[in-house]
Amino acid sequence: MCGIYGITKKNLDWIENYINLCAHRGPDANNTYIDDDISLGHNLLSITDTPNNGIQPWKSPKGNILVYNGEIFNYFELCKKHQNFKPKTNCDTELLAWGLDEYGIDFIEEIDSMHAFAFWQKENKKLFLSRDHAGIKPLYYSNLGSFIAFGSEAKGLLETIPYARTIDQLALSSWSYCGLNVTRNSFFKGINKVMPGETLLYNLTNKKITSVKKNIVIGGNSKNFLPEQFIEIFDKTIKNFLIGTREIGIFLSGGLDSTIITHHATKYRNLKVFTSKIVPSPDDPFEDFNSDYLEAKSFSKKYNLKQIIVQHTPEIYSDYWYSSVLALEEPLYNPSIPMYEQANKMMKDNGIVVSLSGDMGDELLYGYPSYDRLDNFQIKTHRDCIKFWLNERLSQPPNIKGVKFTRDEIIDSLMESVFPDSLWDKDDIVSSYMRLDQQGLCPEDFFRRNDRFGMKYSIEGRFPFASKVLMNYLMNIHSKFKRGKNENGLKFIIKNSYKNILSNSIINKTKTGWTAPIHEWKRQFNDRCSKIYEIANNVTLNNKLVIPNDKRWAPFLHFYSWIYLNKMKL
């Protein structure tokens, strides 16, 4: 995992400053490429070969220049397929540069990857910016008319882009309605995102930027599934995701997704697993905050795994508050943000360089009870589906008063940039809705926080469920085959496939969320929350900014903290 940066002008100082700001993304090496038209930079976190063999920017066989952040998980398969590719290293960067030379941007369709890259064709003065099919790896850019600038994190663009510290109103409006900013705009005015699966072309001759490819997973063939086929495909996926020479750790929550990842991964490598424990665990009639922890503990003992417990307390939660807001860069409507950073820090302290987690499992395998509600609504068009997603995704969205854009205007923007018509299947409404989660929720919540917190500690995060091969397989199964008949029918594919492999307690366990109980801590352990109250008084200017006294308290505090720490203007 790495960091990539560039500007379409000759400016070595600018590139070196960006490299230094994002040194955490690649502590093993850094380098630059400069010519009269462009400046490119790279931080290297070496995973599959020695640092000397992986230094970028990379010069392709035809003299083009590549800066790349990611992994190609079907690397060995592609090496066998393309016999005319003669690698000199074990770096997938070399394969990607060769493939882009030989096949152009269409080579993206062959790779099962997570990636963000910039490919500079010096001879015809064309720059391609590309992001993987699921939006796992981030890529920001700004079009300033006479030039563009881009990078893996927004922080390196803030002083270059005029008014970047003004909150973008389209982003704020989207976030207000559904708790996610899934528009092309970032929260920083003038800084945009390459969208999931998108490849942009910037032509230095005419100074125009266009979207030239949208490589996303659709599926929709309405197939049934066979348990043995799913297990076989999943096992191969996990094996591919263990590529590299660095130590790997797994976020083992105790839920189905991370458990089957661990089950398969430990067949091939000795791995450490990391499990969160809430201390103290509040009394709550609707949720047992440590039920997943207990399952993970039992599973680890059965498999004789080296399990490391990450204890989350109100005091530690407060200690990670400011640093987690800064690391995340943009606001996220999630009370658990400090806990995610703490878990990654624990991994770093235990020598982990690559992490595996079960994100996107729910969005592929019918993992949410809310999917059951879709049949109760008159969803007849793609626009209806997006409207329902925007309005009903959260029971308590931010609902900030006075946002500039209406819900209909946000829907128009989403249909244009992130939710194309191809996601709609009139014969499978649930799958249509799940695709919105895959293209909206996953990249803007799960993948972004994992990238920022993982890379803060120089850890590469991997998500086996986001494998292009696995996504294609699962999204070609009709949603009616993913839901069991009884009240515990969520994740039927996993439960059916692993019923004789995993314990009954895991198979039959009621789904619970992984959530920081800050609201319950405040009510039941108020004396242990003094630090977080101090933060709240500070960033709300002694309560002049109102925070709702309900489960929105922590997400609102996160938003106000982001404004305060980044000196943002509304």
- Classify residue 302 by burial, with Cβ atoms within 10 Å: 0-12, 13-18, 19+: exposed
Residues forming CATH 3.60.20.10 domain(s) in the chain: 2-139+194-214
For residues 134 and 360, what is the distance between their CA atoms, to the nearest angstrom? 10
Q: What is the 3-state secondary structure (H, E, C) of 508-569?
A: CCCCCCCCCCHHHHHHHCHHHCHHHHHHHHHHCCCCCCCCCCCCCHHHHHHHHHHHHHHCCE
- DSSP run (H or E) holding 455: helix 448-456
Question: Could you give the CA distance from residue 23 to residue 2 in angstroms, rounded to a whole number?
Answer: 9
pTM across the whole model: 0.96
Give the separation between CA 347 and CA 130, rounded to whole angstroms: 29
From residue 231, alpha-carbon distances to 176, 359, 366, 424, 500 in Å are 40, 18, 17, 28, 12
Q: Dihedral sign, CA of 231, 235, 237, 238?
A: positive
364 phi/psi in degrees, rounded to 5: -105, -30
pLDDT of residue 1: 67
**Beta strand pairing status for 148-151 and 208-214?**
unpaired
Which pLDDT value is given to residue 143? 95
Q: Which residues contact 197 (CB under 8 A, 6 or more apart)?
A: 131, 132, 133, 134, 135, 213, 214, 215, 216, 439
Q: How many CB atoms lie within 10 A of CB 355?
A: 23
Q: Which DSSP symbol is given to 66? A: E
CATH 3.40.50.620 range(s) for the chain read 227-364+437-566
Residue 393 CA to residue 112 CA, distance in Å, equals 29
The fold for domain 227-364+437-566 equals Rossmann fold (3.40.50)
The CATH number fitting domain 2-139+194-214, selected from 3.50.50.60, 3.40.50.720, 1.10.10.10, 3.60.20.10: 3.60.20.10
Whole-number Å distance between alpha carbons of 500 and 196: 37
Q: Quick one: CA torsion of 400, 194, 562, 153, rounded to 10 degrees?
A: 180
Kindly report the backbone phi and psi dihedral angles of residue 472, in degrees, each rounded to the nearest multiple of 5, phi listed first: -60, -45
The predicted pLDDT at position 488 comes to: 80
Tens of pLDDT along the chain (570 residues) come to: 699 999 999 999 999 999 999 999 999 999 999 999 999 999 999 999 898 999 999 999 999 999 999 999 999 999 999 999 999 999 999 999 999 999 999 999 999 999 999 999 999 999 999 999 999 999 999 999 999 999 999 999 999 999 999 999 999 999 999 999 999 999 999 999 999 999 999 999 999 999 999 999 999 988 889 999 999 999 999 999 999 999 999 999 999 999 999 999 999 999 999 999 999 999 988 888 999 999 999 999 999 999 999 999 999 999 999 999 999 999 999 999 999 999 999 999 999 999 999 999 999 999 999 899 887 788 999 999 999 999 999 989 999 989 999 999 999 999 998 999 999 999 999 999 999 999 999 999 999 999 999 999 999 999 999 999 999 999 999 999 999 988 788 999 999 999 999 999 999 888 776 789 999 999 999 999 999 999 999 998 766 788 988 889 999 999 999 999 999 987
CA-wise closest residue to 438 among 135, 222, 73, 153:
135
**Residue 151's closest CA among 27, 25, 34?**
25
DSSP structural state of residue 58: E
**∠ CA(566), CA(156), CA(169), 5° rounding?**
50
| Alpha-carbon radius of gyration of the chain | 23
